[in-house]
Amino acid sequence: MVKFINGGVTAPKGFKASGVHCGIRKNKTKKDLALIVSEKECDAAAVYTQNLVYGAPITVTRNNIADGKARAVICNSGIANTCNADGVEKAELMCSLAADALNLKPTDFVVASTGVIGKPIDIEPIKNGLPQLVSELSENGSSDAAEAIMTTDTVKKEFAVEFTLGGKVCKMGAISKGSGMIHPNMATMLCFITTDANIDSKMLKSALLEVVDDSFNMLSIDGDTSTNDTVAVLASGMAENERITNKNADYDTFVSALAALSEKLVKVMAKDGEGATKLVECQVEGAKTEEIAKASAKAVICSSLVKAAMFGADANWGRILCALGYAGVEIDVNKVEVRFKSEGGEILVCQNGVGVEFSEELAKEILVKDEIYILVNLNDGEFGAKAYGCDLTYDYVKINGDYRT
């Protein structure tokens, strides 16, 4: 059984975190440098953006955790450290400076950056901010770290869960950032996960890939795959459960905990999409294959016209069928059924691929709520999938029209 608890990335044994304003961002009220540190060496795994243009921190992190080990995470916001001639050098320097401050090795670090692309990152603020960052490391520091990695996010994203492996109580916590430029392929945004479960790095990577595919990879805010996307997991082993080295019952429990935590993060990120006023979730069932279910759900969530209709509380189900039609997978439109659901109720709007009479008043009442479910039944098989997104508003254009300023 997986239970949600407080504490974020510092809920598991052995982890401390902090977040400060060091001066990368001009706004002194916004934290811009985060640190997460484990007492012990951790098994580590990560997945990254599949964008061919990717941030220098990804290159450095890949090299650092190639052996499946890590001790800490350092991350700045404000500048992405992407498309810069000295990017790798700067990312390595971030690791070196942090390592010196903590008496660790530079290769012990997962390093990440988020913010404006193409602008060189100034190391001096990071160097000057590290003493405070290290001095403020705390078992209660998850919230500060979560705040320090935010860019256009409007809410902090941190959660933790508790579960049992072989009679030992284990905990897992996470912080993430993501509000715009989110359309993943292997991973999305930045997400740092900690756990005190004892699990081999290969099994950790397997679990991460399994969960990412059904959660982070089913999230889309705006169809743009970012350059710096990273989801990294550190496992300290301090819960002292029997080490997970193969896919057994304990592995399945670990995957369930990771999946619950990831789905929670994904939903919060979808709802906090840039300018968004609503979480939109598409649930597809009755597909011939899992691939068809996922592609169909993702196509609906990614449709700008569907997103705009959700903003306007317009039950324009034709846009949903249109999206299903260009999803690139085989469906029988004559079997498709579509419903809208929220706290305001549930309504059938399409059956056997054609419209049915429905109350526009009830539909409006359903779609004005801030969490909308688009229910699609393909009536053609046993597979299903969920995809997560948000509505498309005027504010999205405003935010991205002057993002650099």
Q: Cα separation of 255 and 197, whole Å?
A: 12
Q: Are residues 200 and 293 in the same domain?
A: no
pLDDT band at 227 (very low <50, low <70, confident <90, very high): low
* CATH code of the domain covering residue 306: 3.10.20.340
Residue 240, in any domain of the structure: yes
Tokens 């993430």, residue located: 176
pLDDT for residue 186: 34
* pLDDT for the residue 179: 57
Domain end point (choices 269, 287, 312): 269
Segment 16-20 shows an average pLDDT of: 98
- Residues 372, 290, single domain; the answer is yes
Q: What DSSP line would sit under 125-151, residue for residue? A: HHHHHHHHHHHT-BTT-HHHHHHHT-S
Greater pLDDT, 222 or 151:
151
Output DSSP code: residue 122: P
pLDDT at 194 exceeding the cut of 90: yes
Same domain, 257 and 305: no
Q: Examine the domain organization and report whether 296 and 184 are in the same domain.
A: no
Q: Do 123 and 264 reside in the same domain of the chain?
A: yes
Domain for residue 193, yes or no? Answer: yes
- Average pLDDT on 238-260 reads 98
Tell me: do 56 and 95 sit in the same domain.
yes
Q: Is residue 158 part of a domain?
A: yes
Of 269, 303, 323, the position where a domain reaches its end is 269
At 256-294, the pLDDT tens digits run 999 999 999 988 888 776 678 899 999 999 999 999 999
Tens of pLDDT along 101-151? 999 999 999 999 988 888 999 999 999 999 999 999 999 999 999 999 998
Mean local confidence (pLDDT), 319-325? 97
CB of 274 closer than 8 Å to CB of 189: no
What local confidence, expressed as pLDDT, does residue 330 receive? 95
- Where is pLDDT greater, at 164 or 186? 164
What is the predicted pLDDT for the residue at 52? 74
Pair (91, 198) in one structural domain: yes
pLDDT at 405: 52
The confidence band for 229, taking pLDDT boundaries of 50, 70 and 90, is confident
Catalytic (active-site) positions: 188
Q: What is the per-residue pLDDT across 163-184, written as a single tens digit (0 to 9) for each?
A: 999 999 999 999 998 754 445 4
Asked if residue 110 and residue 231 are part of one domain, the reply reads yes
50, pLDDT greater than 90: no
pLDDT confidence of residue 226: 55
Report residue 46 as tokens.
């990560």
**Number of domains observed in the structure of the chain:** 2
Q: Which residues pair with 341 in a beta bridge?
A: 346, 373
pLDDT band at 221 (very low <50, low <70, confident <90, very high): low
CA 97 to chain centre: 27
Does residue 199 sit in the same domain as residue 147?
yes
Mark out the alpha helices in 303-359 (DSSP H runs): 304-311, 318-325
Angle CA 55–61–64, to nearest 5: 150
Same domain (yes/no): 232, 156: yes
Indicate the pTM of the whole model: 0.86
Residue 88 has pLDDT above 80, yes or no: yes
Residue that finishes a domain, picked among 269, 289, 307: 269
pLDDT of 188 above 50: no
Q: Are residues 117 and 152 in the same domain?
A: yes
Q: Could you tell me if residue 274 is inside a domain? A: no
Taking the C-alpha atoms of residue 127 and residue 328, their distance in angstroms, rounded to an integer, is 49
User: Are residues 224 and 346 part of one domain?
Assistant: no
Q: What residues make up the domain containing 132?
A: 3-269
